[in-house]
Structure 1
Amino acid sequence: MIQMRQKMDRAAQKVGMFVEGQAKLNAPVDTGDLRNSISHEVESTETNSKVYVGSNKEYAATVEFGFSPKGIPAQPYLRPSVENNLDQIEALITRELKL
């Protein structure tokens, strides 16, 4: 059981690094603060591992989703980092769980 948990943690860590990298490539750049703030964190329990990727910048969600009352268009950078790479993410997980 410990070995499987370690595999799940390693898979989550690799997925987090991959998605973080893609999000940094996709992030619109003005000063670079948003791009530089993107990070990932793995949360594990005995039965699962989760990875969170995002930014702690207050305006990160506004960039991702836009804000129509102010006429700010969405510039998605995080969601496409997952949605456009599902095959690679699945391959990372599969490879790590097989080791």
Structure 2
Amino acid sequence: MRAEARTTINTRAYERGLRRWFGRMSDDVARAVERTRIDVQNEARRRAPVDTGRLRSSIVSRAEGGGRSLGYVIGTNVNYAAAVEYGTAPHVIKPKYKQALYWPGAAHPVAKVNHPGTAARPFLRPAIAMTEIFWRAHASQIGRR
């Protein structure tokens, strides 16, 4: 005498369930990346030195990638942003279109100015360094609704 037991597993239902699960996870991960991107952008704006506000308001970010590779880019199109972020070395300023430089309050026109350079005032790099902190806060919410 033989004993047998048979069963059938509905793999289609299982696969549909997995797709729903991973689809939901993907949405949650994308949402966590998006929130991290916004937090880093806001942190860079918060850290940006303000004179006129132009630099601060120019800081933007955008999502990049898709599928299983999500990320973002953060930056500014203001031409002096790199000089603020990294500082400048001492340098000579010479006139481009005239024979001399003059500004209100100067005693007289001059042929050149020895600029002492400026100290770095990083705002992007410290904000980007906080990515992991923001990511952990948002990633801990993945799968929780």
Q: Normalised by the size of structure 1, how large is the TM-score?
A: 0.82
Higher relative contact order (CA 8 A, sep 6+): 1
Q: Normalised by the size of structure 2, how large is the TM-score?
A: 0.59
Match of 1:10 in 2: 31
> Match for 2:124 among 54, 78, 89?
78
Match of 2:109 in 1: none
Q: Which has the higher helix share?
A: 1
Equivalent pair of 2:85/2:122 in contact (CA under 8 Å): yes
Q: What is the aligned-residue identity percentage?
A: 33
Equivalent runs, 1:1-99 vs 2, <5 Å? 1-70=22-91, 71-84=117-130, 86-95=132-141, 97-99=142-144
| Number of residue-to-residue matches in the alignment | 98
- Give the alignment's Cα RMSD to 1 decimal: 1.9
Equivalent pair of 1:15/1:51 in contact (CA under 8 Å): no
Q: After alignment, is 10-19 or 68-77 more displaced?
A: 68-77
Equivalent pair of 1:66/1:72 in contact (CA under 8 Å): yes
Q: Residues of 2 paired with 1:77 and 1:30: CA distance?
A: 14
Equivalent pair of 1:20/1:39 in contact (CA under 8 Å): yes
* Structure 2: gaps of 5 or more residues: 1-21, 92-116
Q: Which SS does the other structure have where 2:126 is aligned?
A: helix
